[in-house]
Amino acid sequence: MSLLELRHLSKHFGSYKALDNVSFSVEPGRIVGLIGPNGAGKSTAMRAMTGLMRFDSGEVTFDGQAVKFSKTKALAKMGNLIEYPAIYPNFTAEDHMKYYAMDSKDPEDIHELMKLTGIDGDNFGKRKAKNFSLGMKQRLGIAIALVRKPKLVILDEPMNGLDPQSVREIRALIQKLAGQGIAFLISSHLLDELQRLADDVVIINKGKIIRRATMAEFLSEDKAQIKVKTSDNHAMVKAAEAAGWQVAMGSEDDVLITAEEGVNAQAVLAKATEANLEVQDIQTATVNLEDHLMEVLSENSTRA
């Protein structure tokens, strides 16, 4: 049984269908990226699945139990940073942890959790939250989300506004916790970051789920490209076409050849030599989540 399961969830705002028959699941210990363009329905789905918002039809189960609309009960077993926990300017990190642990029946050991989330260091110490940087607040928010020993943590844009060092630290923290069996559902527009972090992807567009896959499966749908610059790019295109390869003129004074079986950088070099062309530069471009997402979204809107 999945830890979190959404089945045929629909939600209207007036006549606007913000969620249209949305189904997907999250398994224990998996980091799932919920991705889609602005207004696709990510926050609506997150709010509905945590019981923060009523939905019109469908069902959500979490840890074997139906999730119902209820502001108070919603957060009991899911740690969530959709609606940020209140951070009090005059509280230290430890004050926050004690405060939030108190309204939990079975709190995690506070000091261990502070150590795990890195909010126990000199940087935090006796400092009050009004003096915390954004990264420190984000980290504190994650620690608060964990104080109830959740099996699933839902994070809406957890990396927003963080510097690269903090992004790296939060990523390592999430990976460490996932390694301990905690599942994460993360919505983010920082796709490079999600590509590094997520095990699975769920893609939503205009309220509909258009793809569910592991990150590796999703990326493997996209073929790598070989980018080559030669002494005569037009002649290179002709030679590649003659070989039956998929080829196009690139935007950077280069030629783009789709990699497939038998078509790799070495084969392209050999082909250029055969055509008496001088190769000035050759690179194999790695597959990237953002590019592939764009392709999938554009296919989806052509079909729709």
Ligand X SMILES: Nc1ncnc2c1ncn2[C@@H]1O[C@H](COP(=O)(O)OP(=O)(O)OP(=O)(O)O)[C@@H](O)[C@H]1O
Judged by CB under 6 A, does residue 42 bind ligand X? Answer: yes
For ligand X, the binding residue among 3, 22, 32, 40 (CB under 6 A) is 40
**Phi and psi angles of residue 21, each rounded to the nearest 5 degrees, phi first:** 60, 50
The nearest distance, CB 37 to ligand X, in angstroms, is: 7
Nearer to ligand X, 38 or 65 (CB): 38
Nearer to ligand X, 39 or 121 (CB): 39
Query: How far is residue 89's CA from residue 131's CA, in Å, rounded to a whole number?
Result: 8
The nearest distance, CB 145 to ligand X, in angstroms, is: 19
For ligand X, the binding residue among 3, 4, 24, 36 (CB under 6 A) is 36
Judged by CB under 6 A, does residue 203 bind ligand X? Answer: no
Per DSSP, the three-state class of 172 is: helix
Judged by CB under 6 A, does residue 80 bind ligand X? Answer: no
Nearer to ligand X, 11 or 148 (CB): 11
Judged by CB under 6 A, does residue 297 bind ligand X? Answer: no
At what angle are helices 93-102 and 134-146 packed, to 10 degrees?
30
Nearer to ligand X, 116 or 203 (CB): 203
Residue with tokens 């939250």: 129
Judged by CB under 6 A, does residue 15 bind ligand X? Answer: no
Judged by CB under 6 A, does residue 43 bind ligand X? Answer: yes
Residue with tokens 């939990």: 104
Query: How far is residue 287's CA from residue 221's CA, in Å, rounded to a whole number?
Result: 9
Candidates 34-42, 84-92, 132-140, 190-198: pick the segment binding ligand X (CB under 6 A): 34-42
Candidates 20-28, 42-50, 126-134, 239-247: pick the segment binding ligand X (CB under 6 A): 42-50
**What phi-psi label fits residue 68: left (phi over 0), alpha (psi between -120 and 50 degrees) or beta?**
beta
Judged by CB under 6 A, does residue 44 bind ligand X? Answer: yes
Candidates 38-46, 103-111, 133-141, 170-178: pick the segment binding ligand X (CB under 6 A): 38-46
Beta strands in the chain (DSSP E): 4-13, 16-26, 31-35, 57-62, 65-66, 78-81, 152-156, 183-187, 200-205, 208-214, 225-230, 247-249, 255-258, 279-285
Judged by CB under 6 A, does residue 18 bind ligand X? Answer: yes
Tell me how many residues contact ligand X (CB under 6 A).
Answer: 10
Query: How far is residue 280's CA from residue 32's CA, in Å, rounded to a whole number?
Result: 41
Candidates 40-48, 91-99, 251-259, 274-282: pick the segment binding ligand X (CB under 6 A): 40-48
Determine contact, residues 100/140, Cβ cutoff 8 Å: no
CA distances for 172 relative to 66, 117, 118, 175, 299, angstroms? 32, 10, 11, 5, 34
Under the rule (CB under 6 A), what is the footprint of ligand X?
Answer: 13, 18, 36, 38-44
